[in-house]
């Protein structure tokens, strides 16, 4: 993840060096060689994804490819904010460090979990949550695409939700290998530290609209963007609504910048007629010159 960019572009190597200094670890080594057990820990996963995506966005910008609007899924919203000019890489990196560490701590304090529910409609999701809440907190955390929702909450409630989903004949219900109940009330212990970190940097009004997780609405006000990043911590990522709002706003082409192709897949499920392209590697950049 990002190794080819690191080995090809000195500017990217400098970004990883800065990240390592801020984080107090060799992020490049962890990102490129693991071990997986380390990379999967929230305090490392988040910075690794963030640096890779911002590095790729920087390389695209150097080639004249800049966004007309931005959005990011969960952590990706921080990369989107940098791409929109609201925060610098350095400013956002410091916030991401705090976010990652505090979310990891919250996951240890309140042993929560998450589950992907595939093929359920809204009424079935509501029924699953109402039945499972007898075993603890449970809420929708990622409203990803039609028929694709991730639930988050207490471990017992999540286990119950998977059982209930199967009794309803839901196509797929599976507990996720995560270290906490992200985008749920169980993340409350991380809120104050995240708010302090966000308050410690200057949020400029964005150059382009940022469609935000908590509201699924476009923002350009730096103050509003900051407050919505706080709300994001304990509230669902409204990805389907975000992509539909993009479409209504006249945006038809989507570019996933960073690791993987998950968002491209979600977007095609939300809007089959949309154009989706990914940029995460040197070879992806080379295609621009073809």
Residues 6+ apart with CB under 8 A from 242: 71, 211, 212, 213, 216
Does residue 237 sit in helix, strand or coil? strand
Smallest Cα–Cα separation from 243: which of 126, 119, 144?
144
The dihedral through the CA atoms of 218, 221, 222, 228 has a sign that is negative
The dihedral through the CA atoms of 237, 238, 244, 247 has a sign that is negative
Is the previous residue joined to 35 through a cis bond, with omega within 30 degrees of 0?
A: yes
The dihedral through the CA atoms of 158, 44, 231, 81 has a sign that is negative
Quote the strand ranges of 101-145, DSSP E.
112-118, 138-145
What are the residue numbers of the active site? 74, 183
């Amino acid at each position: 993840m990002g190794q080819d960019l690191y080995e090809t572009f000195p500017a990217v190597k400098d970004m990883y060096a800065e990240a390592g200094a801020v984080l107090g670890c060799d992020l490049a080594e962890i990102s490129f060689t693991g071990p997986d057990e380390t990379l999967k820990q929230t305090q490392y996963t988040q910075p690794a994804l963030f640096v890779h995506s911002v590095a790729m966005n920087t390389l695209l910008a150097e080639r004249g490819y800049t966004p007309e609007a931005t959005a990011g899924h969960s952590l990706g919203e921080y990369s989107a904010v940098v791409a929109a000019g609201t925060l610098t890489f350095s400013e956002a990196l410091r916030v991401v460090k705090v976010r990652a560490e505090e979310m990891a701590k919250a996951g240890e304090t309140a042993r929560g979990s998450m589950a992907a529910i595939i093929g359920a409609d809204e009424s079935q999701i509501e029924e699953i949550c109402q039945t499972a809440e007898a075993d603890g907190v449970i809420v929708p955390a990622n409203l990803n695409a039609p028929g694709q929702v991730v639930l988050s909450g207490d471990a017992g409630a999540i286990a119950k939700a998977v059982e209930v989903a199967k009794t309803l004949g839901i196509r797929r219900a599976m507990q996720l290998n995560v270290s906490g109940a992200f985008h749920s009330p169980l993340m409350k212990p991380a809120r104050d530290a995240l708010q302090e970190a966000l308050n410690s940097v200057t949020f400029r009004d964005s150059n382009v609209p940022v469609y935000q997780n908590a509201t699924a609405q476009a923002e350009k006000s730096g103050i509003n963007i900051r407050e919505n990043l706080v709300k994001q911590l304990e509230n669902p990522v409204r990805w389907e609504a975000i992509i539909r709002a993009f479409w209504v706003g006249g945006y038809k082409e989507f570019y996933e910048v960073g690791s993987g192709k998950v968002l491209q897949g979600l977007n095609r499920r939300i809007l089959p007629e949309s154009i989706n392209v990914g940029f995460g590697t040197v070879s992806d950049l080379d295609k621009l010159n073809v």
